[in-house]
């Protein structure tokens, strides 16, 4: 079912468990367009770092992906950003989250790379409020690994393991779920994004 017909369901899930897995929310042509976009950029992606400004550093032991921030440009990226902006307003109307903008990057994990358990936001700090991941892996083999694992707020109990299947969108409250990306045997591609509140 298209994303725009699922706003109520999404809002209910975020108000309840705090996360949702959405399959088939985008037209296949758009998903394919995004797969083409990330493939076209394969040699423009740059190794992602951790930390902010002054202490930003690449650290293979924590995070192994290569990224490029999304800018409106090719039609698929523009279309995706526009759909996420509609979702932003729809969630603001339903949940009063005060989501102000959306930032997102393409991410590619080479086989064997991972992202250790981390938080996208810290409680009470301005910034990231709602995390999203949209997977771009046509024909993903479920035995290849690469799952996203969400943990309870304390970071102890595993809540769910989600395979990075093509066309799947995950949303979760950034402050509530420490999470990690398990290593995969295959190249694992996605768009990771964050709806932010105003600082």
**Footprint of ligand OGA (CB under 6 A):** 107, 115, 120, 133, 148, 179, 181, 190, 192
C-beta of 3 vs 107, nearer to ligand OGA: 107
Closest separation between CB of residue 102 and ligand OGA, Å? 14
DSSP symbols for 54-120 = GG-B--TTTB-EEEEE--S-SHHHHHHHHHHHHHHHHHHHHH-----EEEEEEEEE-TT--EEEE-S
| Per-position x/- string for 103-142, each x denoting binding to Mn ion as judged by CB under 5 A, each - no binding | -----------------x----------------------
C-beta of 4 vs 118, nearer to ligand OGA: 118
Closest separation between CB of residue 192 and ligand OGA, Å? 4
Closest separation between CB of residue 181 and Mn ion, Å? 8
C-beta of 35 vs 148, nearer to ligand OGA: 148
Distance of CA 179 to CAs 63, 119, 169, Å?
Answer: 12, 7, 15
Using CA atoms, how far apart are residues 101 and 52, in angstroms rounded to an integer? 19
Using CA atoms, how far apart are residues 199 and 187, in angstroms rounded to an integer? 35
Question: For 3, which DSSP code?
Answer: G
| Per-position x/- string for 6-35, each x denoting binding to Mn ion as judged by CB under 5 A, each - no binding | ------------------------------
C-beta of 62 vs 94, nearer to ligand OGA: 62
Q: Which residue in 76, 83, 91 sits closest to 8, CA to CA?
A: 91
- Does the footprint of Mn ion cover residue 175 (CB under 5 A)? no
Q: Which residue in 31, 16, 15 sits closest to 190, CA to CA?
A: 31
Q: List residues near Mn ion by CB under 5 A.
A: 120
């Amino acid at each position: 079912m298209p994303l725009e017909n699922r706003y109520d369901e999404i809002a209910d899930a975020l108000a309840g468990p705090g996360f949702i897995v959405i399959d088939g929310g985008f037209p296949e042509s758009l998903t394919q367009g995004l797969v083409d976009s990330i493939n076209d950029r394969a040699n423009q992606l740059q190794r992602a770092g951790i930390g902010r400004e002054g202490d930003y550093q690449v650290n293979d032991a924590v995070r192994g992906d290569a990224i490029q921030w999304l800018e409106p440009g090719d039609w698929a990226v523009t279309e995706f950003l526009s759909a996420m902006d509609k979702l932003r307003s729809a969630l603001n109307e339903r949940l009063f989250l005060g989501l102000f903008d959306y930032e997102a990057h393409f991410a590619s994990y080479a086989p064997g790379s991972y992202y250790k358990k981390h938080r996208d936001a810290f409680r009470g700090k301005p910034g990231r409020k709602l995390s999203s991941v949209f997977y771009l892996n046509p024909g993903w083999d479920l035995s290849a690994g690469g799952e996203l694992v969400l943990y309870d707020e304390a970071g102890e109990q595993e809540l769910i393991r989600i395979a990075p299947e093509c066309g799947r969108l995950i949303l979760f409250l950034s402050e509530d779920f420490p999470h990690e990306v398990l290593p995969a045997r295959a190249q694992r591609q996605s768009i990771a994004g964050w709806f932010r509140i105003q600082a």
